[in-house]
Amino acid sequence: MTFEQAMQTMNNRNYALKSAQANKRSREMERKTMRGLYLPKVSLSASYMKFDQDIGLDISPISDAFRDLTGAPPQKQLPSSLVLQNESFSLVGLNFIWPVFTGGKIHSANKAMDANINEALYEIEQTENELNTQLVERYYGYRLSLKAVDLYKEAYDAMLLHLDHAKKMEESGMISKAQRLYVEFSASNAKMEWQKAINQSNIVRDALSNTLGDSIVIQPISELFLLKEIEPLSFFRQAAIENNPQLKQVESKKELARQNYNIKKSDYFPTVAVVGNKELYAKDLTHLMPNWLIGVNLNWTLFDGASRGSKIKSAKATMEMVDFIDTKAKSDISTYLNKLYNELQMHVEQLETMEKTYEFVSEYLRVQKKAFAEGFATSKDVVDAELAVTKVKTGRIKVLNDYVLSLAKLLEFSGRTDLFLEYSKRENREGENFN
């Protein structure tokens, strides 16, 4: 599986990325809730009420005057009181409220939610970048471990061949028993290093499977690489300012702080709302009550114990705090980019040194093998030369692995992880093997 294919697999199956995407969907639903604040709210209400007595008017002066004037018998006289509302009644109705002015509170709440959505998007972007770096570490780390297994196996096979030659030379009296035993000891150590490399490779393989979100075992075919020349440090610093998702999240937090400040200021303004009610069903309710009503409601808090002023000061302090966080984050990222860029240059220098060292140890091994065959060198000389060659070969791929990991981190913090694949395919890249 190529690194590009591994990246596609990770993006489709990794649980950390899916979690970040679910968080984004959750915030989008919350944004729809905020949008609803612009619209009227209609509710259905039902109630049953009971008073201690009927509500009515005392009309006894009128009934007394009527009785005196007419002399009507008791059954034809007017009642002494007029009932306007029975002591109990039930009512079902529709209620309507539509805030038309809130001092900018609804607008600020929606702006704050937009900032929340943007922050979730940047969190996804950050997760993708972090996972890309993790994939580089584990994919190429697994590639490194497999190459190390091959190199240690190659060294072990070379030791076995050397041991076979040593035994024959011991039988012919050309070397001592001690020299042959030293070769056997070195072969045993080479086998142990080979087994150790296999175990380490299995650990890295399992870590890679976890990153991919899949239990399948892959064979990494994309080679480790190193570029002796890339864009200058200023390019990555500018890219970070424009693209780093962590800095973008800080910008979202700054917007959240601004809108929170605006919301707190809106408490000084009145709230104006259009209200209405429509009666749907009534039992034992006075006929004096209208079937519907509509009006305007104004609510203006004139004094609340100075809590509004304290809230505004708190919101303003939060804005200042986020500004400091922004400045600190930019400084930290710039410093870290400088460190990573210097590491890349260091790896390039290490590789150049190893190329010169490889020429020496390869020639030294050839000379020692020839001298041993002619009886002018000891087994230890050959073994040391073999180990030196193996050390330089493994050192090369280790430097390449360190390089791609530093490069991945540099691209992560500059917000340009998209460049990694392009870098890995450049024709002027250094490969895993010495020329």
Task: Concatenate the DSSP letters of all residues of 397-419 into one string.
Answer: HHHHHHHHHHHHHHHHHTT-TTH
Residues 40 and 107: their CA atoms lie apart, in Å, by 15
CA-CA distance, 64 to 71, in Å (whole number)? 10
Strands 81-85 and 292-299, sheet pairing: unpaired
Q: Which residues contact 385 (CB under 8 A, 6 or more apart)?
A: 361, 364, 365, 368, 369
429 falls within a domain = no
Has residue 231 been placed in a domain?
Answer: yes
Of 93, 95, 94, 96, give the one whose Cα is nearest residue 282: 93
pLDDT score of 55: 81
Least Cα distance to 4 among 146, 135, 127, 128 occurs for 135
β-bridge partners, 350: none
DSSP 287: T
Residue 316 to residues 108, 118, 135, 214, 320, Cα–Cα distance (Å): 15, 22, 41, 48, 6
| Enclosing domain of residue 107 | 3-40+102-269+305-424
pLDDT in tens, the chain (435 residues): 899 999 888 888 888 888 888 888 887 887 788 788 888 999 999 999 898 888 888 777 777 676 667 766 666 666 667 778 788 889 999 999 999 999 999 899 889 988 988 888 898 889 889 999 999 999 999 999 999 999 899 888 988 988 888 888 888 888 788 888 888 898 899 899 999 999 999 999 999 988 887 677 789 999 999 999 999 999 999 999 999 999 999 999 999 999 999 999 999 999 999 999 999 998 888 888 888 999 999 999 888 888 888 999 999 999 999 999 999 999 999 999 999 999 999 999 999 999 999 999 999 989 988 888 887 878 788 888 888 998 899 999 999 999 999 999 999 999 999 999 999 999 989 998 876
Calpha distance 406→198 (Å, rounded)? 25
16-26 b/e (C-beta count within 10 Å ≥ 16 → b): ebeebeeebee
Q: Looking at the 3D structure of the chain, how many domains does it have?
A: 1
**What contacts 313, CB < 8 A, 6 or more positions away?**
none
In a domain, 94, yes or no: no
Predicted pLDDT at 71: 64
Specify the DSSP element, H or E, that contains 256. Answer: helix 245-266
**Model-level pTM?**
0.79
276 inside domain: no
Q: Is residue 282 included in any domain, yes or no?
A: no
Among the listed residues 6, 259, 235, the one whose alpha carbon sits nearest the alpha carbon of residue 110: 259
Distances (CA, A) of 172 to 166, 169, 176: 10, 5, 10
Query: How distant is the alpha carbon of residue 129 from its chain centre?
Result: 9
In a domain, 220, yes or no: yes
Could you tell me the CATH number of the domain that includes residue 214?
Answer: 1.20.1600.10
CA–CA gap between residue 166 and residue 379 (Å, rounded)? 8
Residue 84 lies inside a defined structural domain of this protein: no
Q: Is residue 278 part of a domain?
A: no
CA pseudo-torsion sign 198, 201, 206, 207: positive
Determine the Cα–Cα distance for residues 350 and 397; give it in Å rounded to an integer. 11
Burial label for 386, CB within 10 Å (0-12, 13-18, 19+), is buried
